[in-house]
A and B are shown apart, each in its own frame.
Chain A
Amino acid sequence: MSTEAPAEPAVNYLNASYGIKSWLLTLDHKRIGLLYLATITLMFVVGGLAATLMRLHLVEPQGALFEPETYNKMFSSHGIIMVFFFLIPSIPATLGNFCIPLMIGARDVAFPRLNLMSWYLFVTGCAFVLYDTISGGVDTGWTFYPPYSSLYAQSHVVAAALGIFIAGFSSILTGLNFIVTIHKMRAPGMTWFRLPLFIWALYATSLIFVLGTPVIAVTVFLLGLERLLHVGIFDPAVGGDPLLFQHMFWFYSHPAVYIMILPGMGVISELITAFSRKKIFGYSFVAFSSLSIAVISFIVWGHHMFVTGQALYAGLVFSVLSFLVAIPSAVKVFNWTATLYRGSISYEAPMLYALGFIGLFTIGGLTGLFLASLATDVHLNGTYFIVAHFHYIMVGGAVMAYLGGIHFWWPKICGRLYPDMWARISAAIIFIGFNLTFFPQFMLGYLGMPRRYAVYAPEFQVLNVLSSAGASILGIGYVIPLVYLIWSMRYGPIAGPNPWKAKGLEWTIPSPPPTENFEEIPIVTEDAYNYPAIEPHAYPDSQGVASV
């Protein structure tokens, strides 16, 4: 480690101990966060590769590359890996693990050993799914609906289900750990209503982890039971209910959407306040909207089943309830926008991601209302409209927030700054590439192109080629940050404790933080985002002399 700048602490969590063993057996929440970061980046690359190949295949109406069966396996792998092994752990397990103790003024999470164990469970789950992908993959889609996954399954369903089952326990343990940490480990003076909103969002996420994940574990367990022992659970021929699987699957998997987006919303609250240098507008509304999103997320799942033969009455109930989610989501969007009003806004890379998030999440959310309406859903269900809708939420929302958060806390994580110009350029490339990929898919879906098909009608080719072109731009946008972030770990200018001049306990300690985080446990005396009256700030100059 270089010593030329005074801002870099001599001993920190990165260099306190050396060697593979010191990482694989670490109990430090910061190192565990980085272990997760490495793991999910690998999974993102694998899942992204599958997506790239699919988009290449769809350049031609008859399919350019694969047999239809291979294509089925490709989109199944993409979905399973991206949902269960990237998006769900993305923000909570990396930034959550890294930031929660720092932000609430604690030395670690409540159960450090459990924390390490959740990473090992997660890696085991990853191993099963990667083995599954290599050994032939599944062709069921990420939803594993029977009878594709039971009676008529021709692929390696059990290994994939087992991987999801095991990774689920990693989620449960992480959620449990976060809940106890947030309840019990807050520094003196850090009351519930002084918590940063990222913490509120992760608290709500953890509730979903703990209440929802056991259900998906039970569901895949029952699927295994039916597949291996032929117990009648979902197969009507032996007394099962054909829709029961979908009820149980979506009881978890709809809330899982909020596992992906709630932490993202928390990140956005941090970014918007830090880069407009203002207190959040309506703190308690934003905090409670996280909790109400978590609760409402559990009572809307039937909107995935409007055209499956579900009762019309149930459809009506679920349609009405689904509309409710729009309320707390809109509260957040309006409050972020109101926070910007008369703020001293600056456009560093994290802020670009945050602003991108607000726009893309709004489009994703509003198209969700089209799908929650019974009548329009009959037309749009099973088309590319759905694909576009949830990618606006999950990629335009969750991934943008994840990247924004990574860029925001990166100087804290490794003590170095990345090149701001490259970061802004890649944020712009990602925004353009994303919209070019997925906006045509809204049109394709509206025109009636079904999802999950290896071939399509020739009149859809132009929009498909546009979408594939966008995907390659998006891919470039993702590779650039990977390069400069890795570069900056060694060659970036020293960041200093608080390069953004942001509020929050994590910015009061050195970057990278020492292993025990706080030399002395701080005493909190002010609200979150207590920014002084507006004063200008600048990105630290390229000499690396951060003004502190």
Chain B
Amino acid sequence: MVEHPEQAADYHPPHIVPVPIYVAVFVALIIFTALTTGIAYIDLGKWNTVVALVIAVCKMVLVVLFFMHVKYSKGLTRIVILGAFFWLGIMITLTCSDELTRHWEIVPQGWSAGMHIARQLF
């Protein structure tokens, strides 16, 4: 339907973000991307993944806050965003309840090795 007069009353025009802010966020994203690429050439050992993820999260926060206008919206929109992250958290936490406590078997590579073990067992 085209018009809902009963909704016109609580209509707010969308917040207009000044162009310089968009440009600044864009530049920041480019810098972060360059940083990720640069760090990929340095071996940080077990910190490799951590650093890459931290940078990725920073970029995501910028996109969500500015490009998706969450910084300027309130109430229900923010609850929706928080809910989405909470659900992502459920998925990661319960998957980790398996990943972190799993009994990892060291299985020899390839069929012939497997058959070799099987022959010994039976």
Binding site for B on A (CB under 8 A): 107-108, 112, 183-185, 188, 211, 215, 237, 241, 243-244, 247-248, 251, 298-299, 301-302, 305, 309-314, 317-318, 516, 521
Contacts and interface: CB of A to CB of B under 8 A. Distances in A.
Nearest to A101: B1
A310 B87 contact: no
Nearest to B84: A211
A310 B90 contact: no
B83 A310 contact: no
Interface string B1-23: 10010110000000000000000
Nearest to B105: A309
> Interface size for chain B: under 10, 10 to 19, 20 to 34, or 35 or more residues?
20 to 34
B94 A112 contact: no
Contacts of B7: 184
A108 B1 contact: yes
Given A108-B1, A215-B91, A243 B98 contact: yes
Contacts of A184: 7
Nearest to A27: B1
Contacts of A305: 98
Contacts of B99: 241, 311
B95 interface: yes
Given A184-B7, A251-B91, A299-B90, A311 B97 contact: yes
Interface of B: 1, 4, 6-7, 76, 83-84, 87, 90-91, 94-95, 97-103, 109
A314 B94 contact: yes
B84 A314 contact: no
Contact of B1 (A107, A298, A299, A314): A107
27 contacts: A107-B1, A108-B1, A185-B4, A211-B84, A211-B87, A215-B91, A237-B109, A243-B98, A247-B91, A247-B98, A251-B91, A298-B87, A302-B94, A309-B102, A310-B98, A310-B102, A311-B97, A311-B100, A311-B101, A311-B102, A311-B103, A312-B101, A313-B97, A313-B101, A314-B94, A314-B102, A318-B94
A363 B20 CA distance: 62
Residue of B76, B94, B101, B109 most packed against chain A (CB within 10 A):
B94
Nearest to B95: A247
Nearest to B93: A299
B91 A317 contact: no
Contacts of B84: 211
B49 to A, nearest CB: 12
A313 B94 CA distance: 11
Residue of A241, A305, A516 most packed against chain B (CB within 10 A):
A241
Contact of A314 (B76, B83, B87, B98): B98
Interface of A is mostly: helix
Residue of B1, B76, B90 most packed against chain A (CB within 10 A):
B1
Residue of B4, B7, B90, B98 most packed against chain A (CB within 10 A):
B98
Nearest to A188: B6
Contact of A302 (B6, B83, B98, B109): B98
B55 to A, nearest CB: 20
Residue of A112, A188, A305, A310 most packed against chain B (CB within 10 A):
A310
Contacts of A243: 98, 102
A188 B5 CA distance: 13
Nearest to A183: B76
A215 B88 CA distance: 9
Residue of A107, A247, A521 most packed against chain B (CB within 10 A):
A247
A309 B102 CA distance: 8
B97 A314 contact: yes
Given A247-B95, A313-B98, 4 more contacts: A183-B76, A188-B6, A314-B98, A317-B97
Contact of B94 (A108, A241, A299): A299
Contacts of A244: 95
Contacts of A521: 6
Contacts of B83: 211
A519 to B, nearest CB: 14
A112 B2 CA distance: 10
Nearest to A185: B4
B21 to A, nearest CB: 28
Contacts of B6: 188, 521
Contacts of A248: 91
Nearest to A251: B91
Contacts of B91: 215, 247-248, 251
Nearest to B76: A183
Nearest to A109: B1
A6 to B, nearest CB: 29
Nearest to B10: A184
B7 to A, nearest CB: 7
A240 B101 CA distance: 17
The 4 closest A-B pairs by CB, nearest first: A314-B98, A311-B101, A311-B102, A313-B101
A112 B90 CA distance: 33
A311 B90 CA distance: 17
Contacts of B97: 302, 311, 313-314, 317
Contacts of A299: 90, 94
B90 A298 contact: yes
B46 to A, nearest CB: 15
